[in-house]
Amino acid sequence: MVVVTEPGTSEKQIEEIIRVLNEHGFDVHRSTGVQQTVLGAIGVHPEFDHRQIELLSGVAEVLRITEPYKLASRTFKREGSIFDIGGLKIGGNNVVVIAGPCAVENEKQIFTIAEAVARSGARILRGGAFKPRTSPYSFQGLGEDGLKMMRAAADEYKLKIVTEVMDKSQITLVEKYADILQIGARNMQNFTFLRELGTASKPVLLKRGQAATIDEWLMSAEYVLSGGNHQVILCERGIRTFETATRNTLDISAIPVVQKKSHLPIIADPSHGIGIRDKVIQMARACVAAGADGIMVEVHHDPDHAKSDGAQSLFPDQFAQMMKEVRLIAEAIGRTIG
């Protein structure tokens, strides 16, 4: 923490600030400038509330310096993490494609879509069995039946599975069927839940909260990592801004920013970011070009009759076209899809 005093602060005030910092266990180094004095408060006290110093007389500004996360940080682990999910690599040079419907609706639907996305090169099947819906009057998912159908379809077409877990009571059940546990944006700061995921046996795909800064997102990853689960994949899916022309604003710049701050793989979800089918391909291309370690897109063979999010789901032939284009883009930057 760095404390900057106001111009004209008296020696006595400065001494009092130093006294308080010492009392809280900080070593203080003082730099006296012409206008202002700067106090470097050295020591790691993550629970300390810097606003306490902000309120002291003579203090102009308090700047926090200790990064709140450790295990998620690239200074903790220099090399980018690569996770091996039953032979499939996430991270490194590989760009993985996750595809599937918003929700599992029935056996025929999930088999049809799994076959289509596998044929075009997707490696992981997505699909919700438990659906968090904004309205209590909407379709809520098939539950365990949906998970079973999804597993069968994935096995048939040699795909891995990612599916959402909505609270800790579902973890054990979902672990039985899925390869990756998806944590929704709304749960990104559900800390008791994150703690439980720290002891889960499967990797976690952590979606960014709609109003979460990149640092808060990494802090949420830290919760899972500190619980002992070292496999956290980050997923950018759009933040809330004033722009209403799109469902969310896909923050593509989060990709290079996260890659500098953290060793964890980061993928992006253009379907939720843009929210409408006819612009998904352009955004998927942008994500891969920006360096994402993967993309997750919604695909449905009959989106007009999808129970949810049909409008942002690609048709199988659009998905095939997207794959063709992102494959070329991955090559252009020296990476491979697969």
For residue 138, the minimal CB distance to its own copies (Å) is: 5
Question: Distance (Å, rounded) from C-alpha 310 to C-alpha 305?
Answer: 7
Nearer to its own copies, 115 or 227 (CB): 227
Nearer to its own copies, 85 or 284 (CB): 284
Question: Distance (Å, rounded) from C-alpha 107 to C-alpha 51?
Answer: 55
For residue 157, the minimal CB distance to its own copies (Å) is: 27
Contacts of 7 (CB under 8 A, 6+ apart): 35, 36, 60
Nearer to its own copies, 172 or 213 (CB): 213
Nearer to its own copies, 84 or 331 (CB): 331
Question: Distance (Å, rounded) from C-alpha 72 to C-alpha 129?
Answer: 29
For residue 55, the minimal CB distance to its own copies (Å) is: 6
Closest CA to 160 of 294, 320, 336, 316: 294
Share in percent of the chain as helix, strand, coil (round to 5): 40, 20, 40
Buried b (16+ CB within 10 A) or exposed e, 15-52: eebbebbeeeebebeeeeeeeebebebeeeeeebebee
Nearer to its own copies, 87 or 136 (CB): 136
For residue 87, the minimal CB distance to its own copies (Å) is: 28
For residue 151, the minimal CB distance to its own copies (Å) is: 22
